[in-house]
A and B are shown apart, each in its own frame.
Chain A
Amino acid sequence: MSPRRKQRLAVIILILMGVSSAIGLVMFSLKENMDFFFTPSEVHQGKKDGGMKPKIGQRIRIGGMVVEGSVSRDPETLKVSFDLIDTGPMVKVIYEGSLPDLFREGQGIIALGVLKDGYVLEAQEVLAKHDENYMPPEVAEAVKGIKHVKPSKQVYIP
């Protein structure tokens, strides 16, 4: 190979290495920051197809309905806890801060946070869409056409 071609080859290899490491970095970061969505029963039993279950310490989003009568506020601080339910067992959400304007018992919400032992989610964010006739589509899909038990009558299965 002529020196000019050699130089060219070196440049191409350098660019390829740069590009592939950049892509690798992007993919890694993407994977790290991917928040999977689960319903409360999927947290207990795993996804219907594939059986994927969230690990303790993983950051996930959980969508479900707030169980009536389960919201309890700490009288001194802004800590609040409530149960989320879809069609099966529940997940307890603990959160500190101001709840969204449209947070109501019986409403569908999405909580983003880290899963703790004992089916508890330590939430960093609680979302309720700014519209009453709205249910997060993920929740809508999960509860679709399945026999429901009214949240307050649900028997708690640990």
Chain B
Amino acid sequence: MMIPELGHIFLVIGFALSLLLAVVPLVGLRMQDAQLTQTGPLFATLLFAVTLLSFLCLTYAFLTDDFSVLYVANNSNSQLPYYYKITAVWGGHEGSFLLWLLILSGWTVAFSWLSDHLPADYRARILAVLGWVSIGFYLFITILSSPFERTLPYFPVDGADLNPLLQDPGMIIHPPLLYMGYVGFAVVFAFAMAALMTGRLDASWAKWSRPWTLAAWAFLTLGITIGSWWAYNELGWGGWWFWDPVENASFMPWLVGTALLHSLAVTDQRGAFKAWTVLLAISAFSLSLLGTFLVRSGVIVSVHAFATDPGRGLFILVLLALVIGISLTYFAARADNLRHTTKFHFLSREVALWLNNVFFSAATLIVLLGTLMPLFYKESGLGTISIGEPFFNEMFTYLVVPFAILLGIGPLMRWKKNGISKKTAMLLLVAVASVVLSYAWLLLRGQGIEGLALLGVSLAVWVFALTGFQLFRFFQQTGSLVKIKRSHWAMLVGHFGFAAAVLGISMTMNYSDERDVRMLVGDVVNIQGIDLKLNAVRDLNGPNYSGLVADITAIQGNAKYSILAEKRFYKARGMIMTEAGVHANLARDVYVALGEQLDSGSWVLRIYYKPLIRWIWLGGILIALAGFIAILDPRYRRWKVKSRATVSTVEAEHATP
């Protein structure tokens, strides 16, 4: 019966431990006491342990339907299937914040275990920075946002149920993955801050922080991709990206994170862009925090936003201001000492990667502007506005064209030197071939030629072709696919993923057929050569919902399949939800959503034909996969074996002015 109180106590202990983690290693450094300096991993491990225990306490409360806990009462119901009871743990504000903390402590402990190759002082500082970040958040959860608050002595006999929007398999993994990404940038941020503190802003910090950046970024990519797929299935509008403020909040750290990956490569291998890389590392985590603030403070209205009181918002804002303010002040004070010492040609790979960063930064600024503009307008008393999707779509169209062209050429360039001029003829040939091939393919598909689609498909083919050429060259050099370096594979897979996503997006946006139709049982409609027949609309009975299901047969040529489109009524919340019926393959999705019944007895059905939409998510998965492949590069694994050697060379480098 005391389990929830225990969970709260664990969090209070967590707060104390994060204080120790933040202070003790630094004191050790100051006193030059090696034992104190090395206490970081111990505190990190304990911090993770108590957070995990606390999380398990909350999970236990959900599984045992302990509605005396306010948070359980608001987000669960005795009728809820057990797997949704587990996911309901992070279905609301307080619980998802606990998950946030669990992941933060998880990253901290992972770092502390995998970092014994780093110089002791550097490692201690990184752990201390993570400790300082943790202090704020543990304080927040214990005093303002505890998920263990009780409703005693009068508690409801049953709970209010998990928001039906969140009762979907996509929801089980979407938030944890997204938080893995968001919070993972905290480690990268700690690396950058520790480097600023010590002034050790050479290539070594870039090398060490790269696998952590890759990991966080890959999880974030996966989280965003699954989130998009979830919105497509659950919101009933057939859209895969809405430029909703909360989506934007996760997209901005991703954009900056991608820029950071590429910029780290330059700093690591060429020692250039030092200050810029540090700024990106700070920005990635800052934008993650900004996203957290936007979602949890109630300043923006969105499908995903948590309703909350301004007190909580204020606390997060103060935290945000402290973390970002201090780090940017540090940056302004210290980064000035960083100079580029390297020289490179105008057509070298450095410049290509610099342009990559320009594009990603511009994209981030555009998303930031579009997300915050309504807020600026309102607070300046200029009226209530919203920024329409066309703004983002238009801006991203402008950006993606030069970017994709660059992405094809960039990897073919050489460090420092001009190595691309010789290939001009080949590039021109590929460009012409891409356009011709795309034109022919679109003509064959028979949906006509849309200018933007032709542009998009050509760009995708261009990137496919040149990345394929890269693969061929690596193959030539090594003589075997297996011998190609993992980091090279990662680049290839990532760029293939980008091409796949561009292909999917341009096809879906230009050739989707969307219709709202009214149908009586027995009616047939044809959409893009597919006959859809409404067989019946039947009653539906789920564990915690009732509703209607439209039974549809789709006939395409000789193939025949059944599509079930549901409309669910969730009893406890009194909410109606659309559960779209989708038949999917790589060429197209057929998407059916059941609407209302009209007086005449006919049904409104929303029927969409979405060509190549799966390629968008396929692209996202490939891009994430690229991140995971890159982490496996032996370059990073070798640390452990060679750790002593690495340290000594670094110190030697550092000593030379």
Which residues of A are at the interface with B, using a C-beta cutoff of 8 A? 22, 25-26, 29-30, 32-37, 47, 49-50, 52, 59, 61, 73, 75, 77-78, 96-99, 101-102, 130-132, 136-138
Is B584 an interface position by the 8 A CB rule? no
A-B contact pairs, 22 of them (CB 8 A): A29-B391, A32-B390, A32-B391, A33-B388, A33-B391, A34-B386, A34-B387, A36-B383, A36-B384, A37-B383, A47-B383, A61-B386, A75-B600, A78-B604, A98-B595, A98-B596, A98-B604, A98-B605, A130-B165, A130-B303, A130-B575, A138-B384
Pairwise interchain contact B595-A99, C-beta atoms closer than 8 A: yes
Q: Chain B contacts of A26 at CB under 8 A?
A: 366, 369, 395
In the complex, A131→B573 CA distance in Å? 8
- Residues 566 to 607 of chain B near chain A (Cβ within 8 Å): 567, 574-578, 593, 595-596, 598-600, 604-606
Are B388 and A29 within 8 A (Cβ)? no
Chain A residue nearest to B383 (CB atoms) is A36
11 more A-B residue pairs beyond the given contacts A32-B390, A61-B386, A101-B577, with a C-beta to C-beta distance below 8 A? A26-B369, A29-B391, A29-B394, A33-B391, A35-B388, A75-B599, A101-B236, A130-B165, A130-B303, A132-B574, A136-B301
- Chain B contacts of A29 at CB under 8 A? 391, 394-395
State the Cβ distance, A52 to closest chain B Cβ, in Å: 7
Chain B residues within an 8 Å CB radius of A138: 384
Contact B518 A78 (CB under 8 A): yes
Residues on B facing A (Cβ under 8 Å): 165, 236, 301, 303, 362, 366, 369-370, 373, 381, 383-388, 390-391, 394-395, 398, 516-518, 567, 574-578, 593, 595-596, 598-600, 604-606
Q: Which one of B390, B593, B596 contacts A33 once the chains associate, using CB atoms below 8 Å?
A: B390
Rounded to whole Å, the gap between the CB of B167 and the closest CB of chain A is 13
- Nearest CB on A from B536, distance (A): 19
Interchain CB contact (< 8 A) of B391 among A30, A47, A77: A30
The one of A59, A73, A99, A101 that contacts B567, using a Cβ cutoff of 8 Å: A101
B residues less than 8 Å from A102 (CB atoms): 575-576
CB distance from A96 to the nearest CB of B (A): 7
Contact between A35 and B385 (Cβ–Cβ < 8 Å)? yes
Q: How far is the CA of A35 from the CA of B362 in the complex (A)?
A: 23
Q: Would A96 and B388 count as touching, CB distance under 8 A?
A: no
Instruction: Tell whether, in the assembled complex, residue B369 and residue A30 are in contact, meaning their CB atoms are under 8 Å apart.
Output: yes
Closest CB-CB distance, B318 to chain A, in whole Å? 24
Residues in chain B near residue A52, CB distance under 8 A? 383
Q: How far is the CA of A47 from the CA of B398 in the complex (A)?
A: 35
Q: A101 contacts which chain B residues (CB < 8 A)?
A: 236, 567, 576-578, 596
Partner of A99, one of B391, B596, B605: B596
| Chain B residues with CB below 8 A from A132, complex form | 574-575
Chain A residues, Cβ within 8 Å of B383 = 36-37, 47, 50, 52
Evaluate contact between A98 and B388: CB separation under 8 angstroms: no
Nearest CB in chain B: distance from A86 CB, A = 13
Considering the chains assembled together, what is the distance between the CA atoms of A90 and B619 in angstroms? 47
Interface centre among B373, B518, B593 (most CB of A within 10 A): B518
A95 to B575, CA, bound (A): 24
- In Å, the complex CA distance between A35 and B595 comes to 27
- State in angstroms the CA–CA spacing of A127 and B576 once bound together: 14
Give bound CA distance, A54 to B85, whole Å: 48
CB nearest to A96 among chain B residues: B516
